[in-house]
Amino acid sequence: MKLLAIVGTNAPFSYNRFLAKYIAKRYGDKADIEVKEIDKLKPFCRTEEPDEVTKQWIQDIKDADGIILTTPEYDHAIPAALKSGLEWLGSHAGPNVMKMKPVTVVGTSYGIQGTSRAQEDAREILLSPDMSANVLPGNEVLIGGAANSFDKETGDLINEGAIKQLDAAMDNFFKFVKQTQK
């Protein structure tokens, strides 16, 4: 099973990058998980053709069996860079880039709500008719207090409650992806 853990920001430092890398490391025995950055993607413009980096982004998404989207929350929504990256995957990118692609959305933030609004925003985008992704239902990983939830040297998640929540959600996601492969 090949999964992409998307770092949902172009910021040079992000606890969501820590989260994506932690997921790849912790669950690497259950799936081949590649951490994928969006910082080199050019801004989406419907009237422009994708450049080589963007073409590779689209191809990597097509080739993956599933997507783990880690998103911060900026002003109660996903970052503009993530929205732009997702826009490149819409129906104009070619048929079925995201159609029925298994996706789970997780995130961490400094605040207590742990990216709840950004995750809802991401789910709405992924479920839109232009994408029609197959988003894992009933599982939320909302890690608040990011600065105290990660070891700043190793990048590891150290919040035991969040680890248990993440373990359960990832286990469900692995099963979810396997079901779609039948």
CA 81 to chain centre: 13
Which CATH homologous superfamily contains domain 2-181?
Flavodoxin domain (3.40.50.360)
pLDDT 10s digit of each residue in the chain, 182 long?
999 999 999 999 999 999 999 999 999 999 999 999 999 999 999 888 999 999 999 999 999 999 999 999 999 999 999 999 999 999 877 768 999 999 999 999 999 999 999 999 999 999 999 999 999 999 999 999 999 999 999 999 999 999 999 999 999 999 999 999 88
The answer to whether the beta carbons of residues 121 and 129 sit under 8 Å apart is no
Taking the C-alpha atoms of residue 139 and residue 52, their distance in angstroms, rounded to an integer, is 34
The answer to whether the beta carbons of residues 181 and 65 sit under 8 Å apart is yes
Question: Nearest CA to 181 among 21, 28, 31, 58?
Answer: 31
* Beta-ladder partners of 104: 68
